Copies of this chain bind each other. A is one copy, B any other.
């Protein structure tokens, strides 16, 4: 498994927030209910998203969370990074912002273990996929394939 459920749950959470057209904050309990995820676990995840500035919060009654900025300005790389930590294919692997990578096995002047070539490509593949997808895309996809969710959320209280 490349990623843990943190990324899965967190992305679901972000999509749910993105579906809210008006600026009204969404309570975490509503997200937990409609996505059927444990509320107290979501609290931990949303904390990471908040610290990364991807969501903003409003405390107190009728409070909740909203996106930190417009959904089409949020690329999923940021989201996954906030949830899972820096993305590296391997323990020894560290990439600086410019995409340059370094490997901790490169001690004693010994440059470039052979695996570096491979992990660099993998790293490139996954970051490209993540950075090339915006939250807005996922929200749109979600609206197309599950337009009933708005009603589901209100109907859930009756069930």
Contacts and interface: CB of A to CB of B under 8 A. Distances in A.
A27 interface: no
Question: A15, A129, A138 — which one has the most chain B CB atoms within 10 A of its CB?
Answer: A129
Main secondary structure of the interface of A (DSSP, over half): helix
A90 B8 contact: yes
A138 B126 contact: no
Give the bracket for the number of chain A residues in contact with chain B: 35 or more
Contacts of A139: 114
Interface stretch (A38-46, A52-60, A61-69, A116-124): A116-124
A76 B2 contact: no
A7 B138 CA distance: 31
Copies of this chain, count: 2
A153 interface: no
A157 interface: no
A88 B1 contact: yes
A115 B13 CA distance: 10
Contacts of A129: 118, 121-122, 124-126
Contact of A133 (B4, B7, B121, B141): B121
Given A11-B115, A125-B129, 8 more contacts: A2-B87, A2-B88, A2-B89, A7-B90, A11-B118, A112-B146, A115-B138, A125-B126
